[in-house]
């Protein structure tokens, strides 16, 4: 999930030709540093592994502390790697766009993710990635996504009809996850989540926690070791889900196949089994299922919290929904008029990006960044959340202020807001995600009011590949008298 339109920053999507505010103008070209020198950074000791241990305990807080101490380019020497943390928006865009052809994603991260995703568009590199992306792009284009608005609305209507009229401790996170799962199951397989939905939700969480832990180790123990029993069981649940859907589809006469992503993938398989073996179909289905509901569910969970904690913003959004829809179910044609709802989602993504740290990249050729001549093999980390909460770019950065996305001028350069990445690897599902979240948020506000339970403390975020509350989020829920 990234920007709601293109790889350009949506914060400036309506400001073509408007110059940046003076404070946001790019700095003068920095002086070239001698080859072999590195940006400042924390002392590493003999191996630097202590830095890695500190990062594993609280990655975001650790990166924020190092940025405050050493600046927007921080060098980490963690043997045998050199890593540079980049939090300057201009340099991040230069890295991800100008130098994209000199970068590959971090091999260890890809190896961990491939345990479940296989060789999908998420994990592939080079020509294999380009081929997968081209094949999948039409299904995730704005036009392709618009046609899916009615099924999204139908799934949302069914889910909301089962919510209670009033509950002082409603498990909103679980409810949002179930709904997002229903939506992606319909997009992928033309079927809702089955009776195993709760088991699948738990399996996704288990795999996310396991993957996040393995990122900090140079190698993974085989899954057959006794202490990985829970991970084995979770992976089996998800593998069986995808296999069951593929087997069921192949058992149908092709003329009876519904028009969904699985049918499109199986058509590719039938046309060119060498390029699209059944394993490739499985891998793309797994990635679409996981990425297609997990990041959306996480964002909707945080959006619900932001609405509950900011009743004035919630009321403003409800007024827009009432004025635009007059009680109707939203259609694709209505979405542009729901700009206020979109802004609440954008502000949620600014505060709580589903992927607060982009998957690290490795330079496969020397490059120069911010005046530093960095050799091939250098690793780069981009903590998106730190940029999006930087007071240099966003006034009162921890406050929920959707109106900041309606401002005609601002102090933020392009790159300061990129919750779904940028460059060629910008999130493939960005249009589907923003469309889905807009429809769900709109229909929820038509029917319900959200509030913070008495005595509840602000939820703490926890990073397990995606950003979720440390404890399952519960909110007050009350059905509106008229909707």
In whole angstroms, give the CA distance from residue 242 to residue 309: 38
Measure the CA angle with vertex 165, ends 160 and 167; round to 5°.
105
Where are the alpha helices (H) located in 352-416, listed in sequence order?
Answer: 384-388
Other beta carbons within 10 Å of 325: 18
CA dihedral over 232, 236, 242, 247, signed as positive or negative: positive
Residue with tokens 């202020």, as numbered in its chain: 401
Tokens at residue 255, please?
A: 């003329």
Cα–chain center distance at 119: 19
Where are the alpha helices (H) located in 141-171, listed in sequence order?
Answer: 142-146, 149-161
Pairing of strands 379-382, 81-86: parallel
In whole angstroms, give the CA distance from residue 365 to residue 377: 7
Cis peptide before 439 (omega within 30 of 0): no
User: Minimal CA–CA distance to 6: which of 422, 438, 436?
Assistant: 422
In whole angstroms, give the CA distance from residue 181 to residue 300: 12
Tell me if 206 is assigned to a ligand binding site.
no
In whole angstroms, give the CA distance from residue 238 to residue 222: 18
Which parts of 352-429 are beta strand (E)? 358-363, 367-369, 372-374, 379-382
By the 8 A CB rule, do 354 and 466 touch? Answer: yes
In whole angstroms, give the CA distance from residue 284 to residue 118: 8
Query: Which SS3 state, helix, strand or coil, does residue 178 take?
Result: helix
Which parts of 162-227 are beta strand (E)? 166-170
By the 8 A CB rule, do 355 and 470 touch? Answer: no
Query: Which phi and psi (to 5°) does residue 75 adopt?
Result: -95, 130
List the binding residues.
427
List the binding residues for heme.
427
């Amino acid at each position: 999930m990234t920007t709601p339109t293109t790889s350009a920053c949506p914060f400036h999507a309506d400001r073509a030709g408007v110059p940046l505010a003076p404070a946001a103008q790019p700095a003068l070209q920095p002086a070239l540093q001698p080859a072999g020198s590195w940006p400042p950074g924390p002392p590493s000791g003999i191996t630097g592994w202590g830095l890695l241990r500190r990062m594993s305990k609280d990655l975001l807080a650790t990166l924020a502390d190092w940025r405050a101490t050493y600046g927007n380019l921080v060098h980490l020497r963690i043997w045998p790697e050199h890593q540079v943390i980049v939090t300057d928006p201009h340099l991040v865009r230069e890295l991800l766009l100008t130098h994209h052809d000199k970068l590959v994603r971090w091999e260890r991260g890809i190896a961990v993710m491939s345990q479940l995703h296989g060789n999908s568009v998420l994990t592939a590199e080079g020509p294999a990635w380009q081929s997968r992306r081209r094949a999948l792009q039409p299904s995730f284009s704005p036009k392709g996504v618009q046609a899916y608005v009615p099924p999204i609305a139908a799934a949302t209507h069914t889910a909301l009809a089962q919510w209670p009229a009033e509950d002082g401790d409603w498990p909103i996170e679980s409810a949002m996850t179930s709904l997002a799962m229903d939506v992606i199951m319909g997009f992928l397989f033309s079927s809702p989540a089955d009776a195993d939905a709760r088991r699948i939700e738990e399996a996704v969480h288990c795999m996310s926690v396991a993957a996040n832990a393995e990122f900090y180790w140079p190698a993974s123990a085989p899954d057959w070791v006794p202490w990985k029993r829970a991970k084995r069981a979770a992976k089996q649940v998800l593998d069986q889900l995808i296999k069951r859907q593929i087997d069921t589809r192949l058992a149908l006469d092709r003329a009876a196949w519904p028009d969904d992503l699985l049918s499109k993938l199986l058509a590719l398989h039938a046309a060119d089994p060498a390029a699209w073996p059944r394993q490739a179909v499985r891998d793309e289905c797994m990635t679409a299922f996981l990425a297609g509901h997990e990041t959306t569910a996480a964002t909707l969970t945080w959006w619900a919290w932001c609405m509950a904690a900011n009743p004035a913003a919630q009321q403003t959004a409800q007024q827009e929904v009432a004025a635009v829809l007059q009680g109707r179910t939203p259609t694709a044609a209505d979405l542009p008029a729901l700009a206020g709802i979109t802004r609440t989602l954008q502000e949620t993504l600014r505060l709580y990006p589903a992927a607060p740290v982009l998957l690290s990249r490795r330079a496969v050729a020397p490059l120069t960044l911010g005046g530093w001549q960095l050799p091939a093999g250098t690793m780069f980390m981009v903590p998106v959340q730190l940029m999006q909460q930087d007071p240099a770019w966003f006034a009162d950065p921890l406050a929920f202020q959707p109106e900041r996305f309606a401002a005609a001028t601002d102090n933020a350069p392009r790159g300061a807001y990129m919750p779904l990445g940028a460059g060629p690897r910008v999130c493939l599902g960005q249009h589907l995600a923003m469309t889905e979240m807009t429809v769900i948020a709109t229909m929820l506000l038509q029917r319900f009011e959200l509030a913070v339970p008495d005595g509840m403390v602000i939820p703490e975020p926890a990073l397990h590949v995606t950003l979720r509350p440390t404890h399952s989020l519960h909110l007050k829920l009350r059905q509106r008298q008229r909707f």
